[in-house]
């Protein structure tokens, strides 16, 4: 059973990410998606802190025995580097994101 990224994002933005991860593990979840950047904070976003938090919660999830599921690209075209236009995939961007060059 997996907890997807919108569930984690809501807990994260409410300051309850650690509690969320511990609770889903207790409930029997086996997989989680960790997303600290799904809500566009615009100029107020501290991208370094968001990435550090992502690393922190990834480590906690793994420590709790959860397996991590990931996604590449965005759910909408706005800001999605995986889309190169006209329904085509930007393979270089996808591979870069998969290797950790850009967190989505």
Strands (E), the chain: 2-3, 31-32, 67-68, 83-85, 88-89
Mean per-residue pLDDT pooled into runs of 10, the chain (104 residues): 87 94 96 81 72 92 93 67 76 76 45
Distance CA 41, CA 5 (A): 17
**pLDDT score recorded for residue 77:** 67
How many folded domains does the chain comprise? 2
86 and 66 fall within a common domain: no
77 and 52 fall within a common domain: no
67 and 79 fall within a common domain: no
**pLDDT score recorded for residue 103:** 44
Structural domain boundaries, residue 33: 2-71
**pLDDT score recorded for residue 12:** 92
């Amino acid at each position: 059973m997996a907890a997807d990224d919108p569930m984690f994002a809501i807990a994260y933005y409410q300051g309850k990410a650690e509690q969320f991860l511990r609770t889903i593990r207790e409930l029997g979840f086996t997989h989680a998606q960790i997303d600290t950047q799904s809500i566009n904070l615009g100029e107020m976003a501290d991208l370094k802190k968001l990435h550090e938090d992502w690393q922190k919660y990834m480590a906690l999830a793994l420590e709790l025995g959860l397996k991590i599921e990931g996604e590449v690209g965005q759910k909408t075209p706005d800001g999605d580097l995986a889309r190169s236009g006209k329904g085509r995939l930007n393979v270089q961007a996808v591979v870069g994101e998969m290797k950790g060059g850009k967190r989505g």
